A and B are shown apart, each in its own frame.
Chain A
Amino acid sequence: MNLMQMMMSPIITLIMMTLMPKDKKRMMENMSTLSSILILMQTMYLHMDNNHQIKAITLLFSSNTETNNMTMTTHQLCMDTLSTSLMMLTSMLMLTSMLMSKKTMYHTHKKLFMCLFTITMTLFLTLTTSSLMMFYIMFESSMMPLMMMMGLWGSRKEKTRATYYFLLYTMMGSLPLFITILIMNNKLGTFNTTTLQNMEIHTHTQQQLFMGLFLAFAMKTPLIPWHSWLPLAHVEAPAMGSVLLAGMLLKLGTYGFIRFTTPMLTNLSKYTSPMMMIMSMLSMWLASINSLRQNDMKRMMAYSSMAHMGMITAACFSMNPMSKKGAMMLMLSHGLTSSALFALVSFLYERHKSRLMKNFQGMSYTTPMLSTLIMMTTLAHMSTPGSMNFMGEYLCLLGLWELHPSMTMTSTMGMMMSTAYLLLLYIQITSSKPTTYTKYKMYDLSLNETQAILTLTMPNMTLGLMPYPMM
């Protein structure tokens, strides 16, 4: 029933938002923040409740399904710790973007809030459905509000190209997924994932299905040859768009790997795991080397998030429980830190209208709060022990070590490079003497903005020291 309540609250806010007149901006802001806080509390309660009864699955809407062999009752919406933790992440991101929107957005607030709540709704549904068809629909429709955000609030003319690529790439991946889902239904007679997991799929059919189940998620994650939409999209998207993109939408790919690809096609993913490893290691290395020499801060962050996602995919395909748990934690923590960094970069952009790294100098003199927050988030992002990123990364690497030690060696070099580029970013922005350009608008973070960042960094720190809600 809790799940039902939680699903209802964004819907109710959406309806209220549509009914509200356009000019009452203040009221809309307050209402949306309040409701997002409410949603966050609900998800936290849900997660705690779910975690308390170990591995019990909460369900909603049951129905009869017929497979080729038998009829059984299955449930449409269900969840476990993975989905609830990601839902928690979603609601946290939502709260931050609400808090951010008060300063960084300048027009059409009503549409923005509607977009945000539809994204929440679709993401909640994506994370809780057990039907593959439903998942596909929601997976696709989560892209739509983001595209709208990019189109409406994006700053440059390049945004059309970025949205175009974004759309094309996801379509290229997800059409095979659609076909495989249909094939699955044709051959096995059901859309339900739990029944599909328990079924023994013939290896030949597994081979057919793997391409579809892999490509869509690999495009979303993104792995190496299909990644070029990500930096573009990040650069062109508005602040909130990139926060959501880095925080949640990339995680849908790895969520798909953990939820669908590896449990359904166990044998085949074990068979292909060396290839996946090589792919993810390559994407990690290339992305982290690329981000060493980026000028645009957002582009750099995009590459860095790609590198971290490479680590997560490697952990997903190493096929042992420890690294899977690590991947889960890393997904959550990376969602928190990278989106916080994007938010901070957007604050910088909002002050000085530039995202180029070389323009900034001595920000710790002009805006001390901002620079300390950048420090904290970069430290967490480079997985310093004590943050949640370290926990996740450690578990991932431990799992990879069990697979083969060389995997760990290569991925630790990725860690090394992440330290290098993040430090470059931090030092470039905060150190040295402030120039006239950075002195021009010398106001520090407002209360709203600090709250927006702290909603992301505080959970990261606390969960890093006391991770048992996640374990």
Chain B
Amino acid sequence: MYLLTMSAPMMSFMLTLTHKEKIKTTTMQTLACSMIFFSWMNSSIMLYECMMNDTHCQTKIWNWMKTEHMECKISLHMDLLSSSMLFMVTSMSLFVHMYSTEYMKNDPHKHRFMSYLSLFTFFMLLMMSSNNYILLLMGWEGVGICSYLLMNFWYTRMQANKSGMKAIMMNRMGDIALLMSTMMMMNKFGSTKFENLTHMINNKMQTIMNTISMLLLMGAMGKSSLMGLHVWLPDAMEGPTPMSALMHAATMVTAGIFLLMRSSSILEESKMSLTITAWMGATTAFFAATMGTSQNDMKRMMAYSTCSQLGYMALAMGISKYSISLLHLMNHAFFKSLLFLGAGITMHTIKNEQDIRKLSSLMKQTPMTYMGLMTASLTMTGTPFLTAYFSKDQMMENSYKNSMLYWLATITAALTALYSTRLMYFSFTKKPQYTHTQKPHTTSEKDILMNSMIMMLTLMSISTGYMTYTMLTQQQHPLITQKLILTPLMCSMTTSMLMTTLYTNNNLHNKTTLTTLWKNFNSNAWNFNTFYNNMIGEKMLTLAHYQTYKHSDKGILEKIINNNLTNIMMHNSQNISKFQSTKMTQHLLTMILFYSSFTMHIKSQKLNNSVLFWKNTGCSFKSCLGQTMKHNSLMPQFAKLKIVK
């Protein structure tokens, strides 16, 4: 059954890719959806088994690497973490598959899109259910490549190519860190299996644990776009919207968080990396929230909000509350994909316009989407008893021990409220400004499939937190005062109220000064991109051209070796050709020379005295050479020739 879950998406990928011409598009789409549905069924059964009946299970498929020292098998591992992730991934991919059958209706490359989505699901499942780090790495890289393929789906656009390149490079950094960490594990413990590692770890090897966990954190940074390697995520929005709903909101970006959860036993051993993770999470959350407030592109804003939510997850990990982090991950998947899918519908209604400044009063055009997006943003801000409340609020409470982190998280919550109200106000409730230029499509919200997806996700984002709350986590309320529990909530509420009042008031003076200041503050995305471009990329390319290629390779090495080689060869060959002139005397001389040396050699052999032989021959050589030189110099014809030249 475990294998069936994995193989169904792979099957759909193979079928849709290879039988492009033979299968009709509608049958292809139903086939892909049914395959994913099948694997969703399987995974829900698995979730039941692992959650209710508390089973652990491992199945070996085949041997992979095997040398004298190391052994690595391709085998699957099922427990609470992986089964819940599997359930989440399959349900999200089911939603997105069904959504994209409608969304990509007018695209000529539907086959390709569906096949990539299926492949992505396969790799994701492989990563979630892997047994050891190397197999996890396979799924990890595969997911990255699928994301590149989908990001670059409309490959004729230059911006898409750029973003794809960026994403792959940034991901590769993380991948290499993960690779190094697996190598270190293999070297120190002789295995990369999760189970073995948990048993083998002990407190004594502090530095090793520190380095391993730091490398793992680096890997997580690359994939789930924590601060530093986050630059690819906002640019990844160049791809089609369903794809960004699936990957850059729900599943792929949470892979890093999943990795950290998987290696919780390692992280627990080093306090240093835990604090670094927590700080990384808090700063990422704060930074991404500030960026989210000043974005005008709808999808980029959502991307930054994803980034900040991932920061929250990392923060929860840092204060070693893994189950809360997992809960937040699950919840986040639902409400964030709802946001993206809703954004997709709104974009379709208004001729693919993503700039929120150009949108207005979509509430009347798309009431269903408005409802969905409203629920999602309310959930995101942490309104009580919606899904994110159960995870986010608990996280805040638990982080009170490190008060600085707590305050950062609270500010971030306020900022979250700010940008979500901004989005909602601008695109849905604001009075129409450009009614004549931007006329909305008439065909809006007519697809039953898309609407039902939105409905389903809305219901999910209201209820999942409540349902999974008791299953995934134990009661983990720390002892803090009641005021502090309410502060994040109060903060977010007040900011959203403030924003709405500011926007509805027509007093523009105060507003513009504030916003311009704020926008100037984070106009360049905290200069991460400029740093990477100017400091690393451009320097590297100039180095490649001028230093290594022009100077060393074409300059020094060619001059020293190649030119010298050719010169020596030419020179020597000229000398040899000089030696073979038409003069009879010269030839005679060489003959004499040869014979004399030969006789000397025989003589010396008889005497068995090699030293004497060499001396003699040397002498004879010298005398002969002297004679030839004289002879050459005496030649009148030769001299004439030289003059003529």
A residues in contact (CB < 8 Å) with B = 165, 168, 172, 225-228, 286, 289-290, 292-294, 321-322, 325, 362, 364-365, 379, 384-386, 391, 394-395, 397-398, 401-402, 405, 408-409, 412, 415-416, 419-420, 423-424, 427, 430-433, 465-468, 471
Complex contacts, B558 vs chain A, CB 8 Å = 228
**Which of chain B's residues has its CB closest to A286's CB?**
B548
CB distance from A374 to the nearest CB of B (A): 13
- Shortest CB-to-CB span from A48 to chain B, Å, is 17
Distance (whole angstroms) from the CB of B361 to the closest CB of chain A: 37
**Contacting pair A419 B142 (CB below 8 A):** no
B602 at the interface (CB under 8 A from A): no
Contacts of A419 in B (CB 8 A): 168-169, 172
Contact A467 B64, CB 8 Å, known A290-B553, A412-B179: yes
Q: Are B552 and A416 in contact (CB under 8 A)?
A: no
A-B contact count (CB 8 A): 119
Q: What's the least CB distance linking B136 to chain A, in Å?
A: 9
Q: State A395–B134 Cα separation when bound (angstroms).
A: 12
A401 to chain B, nearest CB (A): 5
Kindly list chain B residues whose C-beta atoms are within 8 Å of the C-beta of A420.
169
Sampled A-B contacts (11; CB under 8 Å): A172-B565, A225-B557, A225-B561, A290-B544, A294-B549, A364-B155, A385-B134, A405-B184, A412-B180, A416-B173, A465-B74
Other-chain contact of B66, A379, A432, A471 (Cβ < 8 Å): A471
- Contact in complex: B561, A228 (CB < 8 Å): yes
Complex-state Cα separation, A325 to B65, whole angstroms: 11
Note all chain B residues with C-beta closer than 8 A to A226. 561
Given the known inter-chain contacts A322-B67, A398-B186, A402-B187, please indicate yes or no for A292 contacting B141, CB distance below 8 A: no
> Which B509-553 residues sit within 8 Å CB-CB of chain A?
540-541, 543-545, 548-549, 552-553
Give the interface centre of B68, B152, B183 by most chain A CB atoms within 10 Å: B183
Determine if B134 and A394 form an interchain contact, defined as CB atoms under 8 angstroms apart. yes
B142 near A401: Cβ-Cβ < 8 Å: no
Interface window among B157-165, B273-281, B452-460? B157-165
How far apart sit A172 and B69, CA to CA, in the bound complex (Å)? 40
Residue B65 contacts which of A165, A290, A391, A430 (CB distance < 8 angstroms)?
A: A391
Residues of A within 8 A of B158 (CB): 432
**With A228-B562, A384-B145, A423-B165 in contact, do A431 and B549 touch (Cβ < 8 Å)?**
no
Q: Which 6 A-B residue pairings sit nearest by Cβ, starting from the closest? A: A385-B138, A292-B544, A293-B544, A431-B155, A431-B161, A293-B545
In the complex, what's the smallest C-beta–C-beta distance from B385 to chain A, in angstroms? 43
B156 with A431: CB separation less than 8 A: yes
**B343 shortest CB reach to chain A, Å:** 26
Bound form: Cα–Cα A337–B274 in Å: 41
How far, in angstroms, from A468 to B553 measured CA to CA in the complex?
Answer: 40
Q: A398-B187, A423-B169 are in contact. Are A432 and B557 (CB under 8 A)?
A: no
Instruction: Verify B561–A432 contact, CB threshold 8 A.
Output: no
Contact A432 B161 (CB under 8 A): yes
Interface of B is mostly: helix
Residues from chain A with a CB closer than 8 A to the CB of B156 are 362, 365, 431-433
Kindly state whether residue B62 has any CB partner on chain A within 8 Å: yes
The residues of A that contact B165 with a CB separation of less than 8 Å are 423-424, 427
Q: Taking CB as reference atom, which chain A residue is nearest B140?
A: A385
Say which size band chain B's interface belongs to.
Answer: 35 or more
Give, as a whole number of angstroms, the nearest-CB distance from B556 to chain A.
10
- Chain A residues within an 8 Å CB radius of B137: 385
B15 interfacial by beta-carbon distance below 8 Å: no
Pick the contact of A289 from B70, B176, B543 — CB < 8 Å? B543
Given contact pairs A292-B541, A431-B155, A468-B66, A408 touches B562 in the complex (Cβ within 8 A): no
Assembly CA distance A468 to B67 (angstroms): 10
In the bound complex, CA of A160 to CA of B64 (Å): 47
- With a cutoff of 8 Å between Cβ atoms, the chain B residues found around residue A467 in the complex are 64-65
- Which residues of A lie under 8 Å from residue B160 when comparing CB positions? 431
Apart from A423-B165, A427-B152, A431-B160, list 10 A-B contacts with CB within 8 A.
A289-B540, A292-B544, A365-B156, A385-B142, A394-B65, A397-B179, A412-B179, A416-B176, A419-B168, A419-B169
Contact B173 A290 (CB under 8 A): no
For the complex, what is the distance from the CA of A420 to the CA of B168, rounded to whole Å? Answer: 9
A386:B169 contact, CB within 8 angstroms: no
Out of B65, B142, B176, which one reaches A415, CB within 8 Å? B176
Q: Which of A228, A289, A364 contacts B557 (CB 8 A)?
A: A228
Q: Which residues of the partner chain B approach A430 to less than 8 Å between Cβ atoms?
A: 155
User: Is A408 within 8 A of B161, CB to CB?
Assistant: no
Q: Is B637 an interface residue (CB 8 A)?
A: no
A322:B68 contact, CB within 8 angstroms:
yes
When chains A and B are docked, how far (Å) is the Cα of A401 from the Cα of B169?
24
Residue among A321, A431, A465 facing the most chain B CB atoms (10 A cut-off): A431
Query: Complex: how many Å from CA A293 to CA B545?
Result: 6
Give the distance in Å from the alpha carbon of A225 to the alpha carbon of B176 in the complex. 29
Contact present for A286 and B65 (CB under 8 Å): no
Chain A residues within an 8 Å CB radius of B176: 412, 415-416
B569 at the interface (CB under 8 A from A): yes
Question: Is the pair A321, B68 in contact by a Cβ cutoff of 8 Å?
Answer: yes
Q: How distant is A179 from chain B, measured CB to nearest CB, in Å?
A: 19
**Chain A contact residues: over half helix, strand or loop, or mixed?**
helix
B540 touches A292 (CB 8 A): yes
Residues of A within 8 A of B69 (CB): 322
B558 closest partner in A (C-beta): A228
Q: Is B63 an interface residue (CB 8 A)?
A: yes
Q: Find the B residue at minimum CB distance from A364.
A: B155
Cβ of A137 to closest chain B Cβ, rounded Å: 24
Residues of chain B in range 275-293 having any CB-CB distance to chain A below 8 Å: none
How far in angstroms is the closest Cβ of chain A from B63? 6
Hey, which chain B residues are within 8 Å of A227, CB to CB? 557
A contact residues around B68 at 8 Å (CB): 321-322
Cβ-neighbour of B553 out of A228, A379, A415 (below 8 A):
A228
A339 to chain B, nearest CB (A): 22
Asked if residues B70 and A398 are in contact (CB atoms below 8 Å), the reply is yes
Distance to closest chain A CB from B293 (angstroms): 33
Complex: how many Å from CA A43 to CA B544? 42
- Residues 583-620 of B contacting A (Cβ, < 8 Å): none
Q: How far is the CA of A430 from the CA of B160 in the complex (A)?
A: 13
Tell me whether B179 and A293 are in contact (CB under 8 A).
no
Query: Within the complex, what minimum Cβ distance (angstroms) separates B233 from chain A?
Result: 18
Bound complex: CA A322 to CA B140 (Å): 25
* C-alpha spacing A465/B135, complex, angstroms: 11
A286 to B544, CA, bound (A): 8
Q: CB-nearest residue of chain A relative to B187?
A: A401
CA distance A467 to B65 in the complex (A): 7
Which of B155, B168, B184 sits near A432, CB closer than 8 Å?
Answer: B155
CA–CA, A172 and B545, complex, Å: 29
**CB-contacts of B432-464 with A (<8 A):** none
Interface pair B142/A386, CB less than 8 Å apart: yes
The smallest beta-carbon distance between B151 and chain A, in angstroms, is 11
> Which residues from B are CB-within-8-Å of A322?
67-70
Query: Which A residues lie within 8 Å of B138 (CB)?
Result: 385-386
Q: In the assembled complex, how far is the CB of residue B239 from the closest CB belonging to chain A, in whole angstroms?
A: 13
The CA-CA distance from A25 to B511 in the complex, in Å, is 82
Set of chain B residues within 8 Å of A397, measured between Cβ atoms: 179, 183
Determine how close the nearest CB of chain A comes to the CB of B131; give it in whole angstroms: 14
Nearest CB of chain A from residue B7's CB, rounded to whole Å:
14
Q: Which residue of A lies closest to B171 (CB)?
A: A419
What residues on B are CB-neighbors of A321 within 8 Å?
67-68
A76 to B172, CA, bound (A): 48
**Whole-angstrom CA separation of A420 from B172 in the bound complex:** 9
B487 → chain A closest CB, angstroms: 44
Q: What chain B residues lie within 8 Å of A293 (beta carbons)?
A: 541, 544-545, 549
A248 CB, min distance to chain B CBs, angstroms = 25
Smallest CB separation, B173 vs chain A (Å): 7
* Cβ of B321 to closest chain A Cβ, rounded Å: 31
B221 CB, nearest partner CB in chain A, Å? 15
Residues in A whose Cβ lies below 8 Å from that of B544: 289-290, 292-293
Contact flags (1/0) for B554-586 with A, using CB distance below 8 Å? Answer: 000110011001000100000000000000000
Bound complex: CA of A225 vs CA of B557, how far in Å?
7
Contact present for A286 and B552 (CB under 8 Å): yes
